[in-house]
């Protein structure tokens, strides 16, 4: 066997080994559904409380926000201990309408959550992911830990789903990082909005 061929084989083996030790491996651990439901309620409670303080305006399609919400920053601060900022910004973009220098909520828009009728947790688990080389050397600092909570609810007679992805903050508490699935729903008839029962005339 020629030297060039030997070098080529050794190089190929080296590349394969590098790919293997840098390969990500993952493990799933069950997470209690009742605890998952409790966490979802804590996460979305600021939004639910906010909607209970909306006031019907002269334009019934628009709801006045509470007096303590003067701008986007005030709104985002409602969620600062529950989720990453970009999630709250998404709520703001979906809900808030600025008109005549005032902030209103679009009465046709609804953001479903565990508080929605028939809302339930369908699955909850912790996903641990790390490179094989880190696991071999027992280096847990390189481990990525994520809590995934899947939920579903009915809106207008149809089932909708969302997957919520949590990571731990510096204090070791779970915080919503991002979510996939139904983020908001727009009703044709404002009276069908589940939040309608909260609004003050």
Closest CA to 183 of 201, 152, 162, 154: 162
Per-residue pLDDT of 164-184, as tens digits, reads 999 999 899 999 999 999 999
CA distances from 158 to 32, 79, 181, 182, 183 (A): 27, 28, 14, 12, 15
Per-residue pLDDT of 76-87, as tens digits, reads 999 998 999 999
Residues of the chain predicted below pLDDT 50: none
pLDDT of 27 reads 81
CATH T-level fold of 25-198:
Nuclear Transport Factor 2; Chain: A, (3.10.450)
pLDDT of 14 reads 61
**pTM assigned to the model:** 0.81
pLDDT of 143 reads 74
> From its phi and psi, is residue 159 left (phi > 0), alpha (psi between -120 and 50) or beta?
beta
pLDDT of 39 reads 98
């Amino acid at each position: 066997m020629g030297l060039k061929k030997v070098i080529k084989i050794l190089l190929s083996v080296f590349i394969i080994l590098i790919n293997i030790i840098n390969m990500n491996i993952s493990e799933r651990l069950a997470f209690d559904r009742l605890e998952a439901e409790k966490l979802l309620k804590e996460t979305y409670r600021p939004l639910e409380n906010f909607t209970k303080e909306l006031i019907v305006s002269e334009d019934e399609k628009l709801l006045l926000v509470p007096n303590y919400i003067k701008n986007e920053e005030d709104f985002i601060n409602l969620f600062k201990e529950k989720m990453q900022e970009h999630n709250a910004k998404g709520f703001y973009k979906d809900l808030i309408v600025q008109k005549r220098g005032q902030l209103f909520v679009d009465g046709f828009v609804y953001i479903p959550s565990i508080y929605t009728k028939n809302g339930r947790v369908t699955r909850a688990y912790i996903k641990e992911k790390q490179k094989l080389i880190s696991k071999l050397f027992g280096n847990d600092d390189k481990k990525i830990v994520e809590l995934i909570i899947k939920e579903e609810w009915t809106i207008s007679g149809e089932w909708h789903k969302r997957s919520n992805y949590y990571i731990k903050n510096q204090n070791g508490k779970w915080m919503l990082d991002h979510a996939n699935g139904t983020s908001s729903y727009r009703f044709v008839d404002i009276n069908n909005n589940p939040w309608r029962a909260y609004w003050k005339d």
